[in-house]
A and B are shown apart, each in its own frame.
Chain A
Amino acid sequence: DSGVTQTPKHLITATGQRVTLRCSPRSGDLSVYWYQQSLDQGLQFLIQYYNGEERAKGNILERFSAQQFPDLHSELNLSSLELGDSALYFCASSVPTSGGATDTQYFGPGTRLTVL
């Protein structure tokens, strides 16, 4: 158990819908990262938050957004869902270092999203 929790474990929805994935980082970790794992794209970085602020963006679609709350949990919002958004979505967190968050990332169990 990494100490990172993600809910829900599975999510099945229809095209055009909107869903919210939730992540709670390990105690003391200020940074949260979101990754998408799909068969064709592999593991791709989506977005990083550090202590409530967006820190870096990767290959995140405009239909996707995220935020990190004062209690440091994070939510990833996916809207206008398409079949191709079906994937495993991971959240990871890391121990903060001075000036950033360049340290080992520990992953949650993931949320499997199926868009029908």
Chain B
Amino acid sequence: AQTVTQSQPEMSVQEAETVTLSCTYDTSENNYYLFWYKQPPSRQMILVIRQEAYKQQNATENRFSVNFQKAAKSFSLKISDSQLGDTAMYFCAFMEWEGSQGNLIFGKGTKLSVKP
């Protein structure tokens, strides 16, 4: 069974600085998706970024980028120029590429605080 591990329960960063959140996963599949979701205090789950395992290029979305290391099964999220609005829980998630089951498997989350 696939598992997702986020080893940093809490992190903090100063506004405008850069922070990296870690995620590792375990799977025997070769093709899959990886995601980062953000959950601010409003509790809404917001997609931050997505990576297809077959793509060697790391995904980027504005200030958010990932470092995807397939062999190491590592998928870290880098937030540049951190803003107060980035304060949230961040969840790493795994999903199989093929098959009819498309459910997400989540890590336990990292609580990020951006300090002014």
Contacts and interface: CB of A to CB of B under 8 A. Distances in A.
Interface of A: 2, 31, 33, 35, 42-45, 48, 50, 55-56, 58, 88, 90, 92, 94, 99-107, 109-110, 112
Interface of B: 33, 35, 37, 42-47, 50, 91, 95-106, 108-109
Nearest to A34: B103
A16 to B, nearest CB: 27
B109 A33 contact: no
Contacts of A90: 45
A106 B37 CA distance: 10
23 contacts: A33-B103, A42-B109, A43-B104, A45-B103, A55-B102, A56-B102, A88-B43, A94-B102, A100-B101, A100-B102, A101-B102, A102-B96, A102-B99, A103-B102, A104-B35, A104-B47, A104-B50, A105-B104, A107-B44, A107-B46, A109-B43, A109-B44, A110-B45
- The B interface, classified by DSSP as helix, strand, loop or mixed, is loop
Nearest to B98: A102
A33 B96 CA distance: 15
Nearest to B100: A100
Contact of B102 (A44, A88, A102, A106): A102
Contacts of A35: 104
B100 A43 contact: no
Given A42-B106, A43-B104, 6 more contacts: A48-B101, A102-B95, A102-B98, A105-B95, A107-B46, A110-B44
Q: Lowest 3 CB-CB distances: which A-B pairs, in order?
A: A107-B45, A45-B103, A56-B101
Contacts of B47: 104-106
B97 to A, nearest CB: 6
Contact of B105 (A2, A45, A106): A45
Contacts of B35: 104
A50 B91 CA distance: 25
Contacts of B106: 42-44
Nearest to A42: B108
B104 A101 contact: no
B100 to A, nearest CB: 5
Contacts of B37: 107
